[in-house]
Amino acid sequence: MEPLLLTPKEAAKALGLSQSYVYELLASGTLPSITIGRTRRIPRRALEEFVAACEAAQDGYTPYPAASSTPPQIRAS
């Protein structure tokens, strides 16, 4: 069974992005996370929703409630 919560490092690997970019997404609120004690975890569901939003943004529509009015952008690692 795959874990429900991922570290930012694990999320970066799963998304094929750099760890620093994942932290940027977390800081902007584009990628939601939860804090357990002093550690930050990203729900697997949030990764799936982020990818779906990026795919939808390719068509000019994003259902994802981003922190800003601009749709999430993926940049190369």
- pLDDT at site 61: 57
10-55 pLDDT, tens digit per residue, is 999 999 999 999 999 999 999 999 999 999 999 999 999 999 988 8
- 44-53, Cβ contacts within 8 angstroms, sequence gap of 24 or more: 44/2, 44/3, 44/4, 44/5, 44/6, 45/4, 47/6, 47/11, 47/14, 47/15, 50/15, 50/25, 51/15
**pLDDT surpassing 80 at residue 66:** no
pLDDT band at 70 (very low <50, low <70, confident <90, very high): low
- pLDDT at site 13: 96
User: Does the pTM exceed 0.75?
Assistant: no
Domains of the chain with bracketed CATH: 5-58 (1.10.1660.10)
Whole-angstrom distance, CA of residue 57 vs CA of residue 61: 5
**How many other C-beta atoms can be found within 10 angstroms of the C-beta atom of residue 32?**
17
